[in-house]
Amino acid sequence: MGAHKHRLRTTCLAVALLFLTANQAVAHQTNAQTELQEGVASFYSDRFQGATTASGEPFDQQALTAAHPSLPFGTKVLVTRPDTGQEVEVMINDRGPFVKGRVIDLSKRAARALGMIRRGTAPVMITLVD
C-alpha cells in the first residue's frame, strides 16, 4: 500500500508540473499576441490644446491620451521605447497621426514620460493593456 501511495503522489506531482508548465506557455503566448505595432511616435503641438478630438472630448496635453488610426476610442495601450525601456500607458481618444511612417501621436505628458520631448519623435512598440 505504501508503494501505491508513492506512485500516486509522484503521478499527481507530475500532472501538476505539466499543468503549470502548460499554463506558463499559454500566458507567454497570450502576452506575445497583445503586441500590436512598432514604429515611430510623435506628440501633439501645443496649438491643439482644447481642440475637439475625434472622440468628441477636448484635447488636454496633461492627460495620458493618444491618437491612433484605427484602435477603438477608449482602448488602453502601453507605449514602450525599446531603445530606453521607458513606457507609458495611454488611452486612445483621437485619430491620427497623419504623417507617413508614424504609428501614434501622444499628448505632451505621455511624450515627456517617454523622454522624447527634445527629439520630437521616438521609436516605440504599442501593446494592448488588458
Q: Where are the domains of the chain?
A: 1-33, 35-128
Quote the mean pLDDT of the chain.
82
Residue indicated by cell numbers 505595432: 37
Residue ranges of the chain with per-residue pLDDT less than 50: 6-33
pLDDT of residue 2: 62
| Class of the CATH-defined domain 35-128 | mainly beta
Q: What does the block give as the cell for 130?
A: 488588458
Report which DSSP code applies to 124: E
pLDDT value at position 1? Answer: 53
pLDDT in tens, 10-30: 433 333 333 333 333 333 334
Percent of the chain scoring above 90 in pLDDT? 71
pTM above 0.85, yes or no: no
**Residue 9 corresponds to which cell in the numbers above?**
503522489
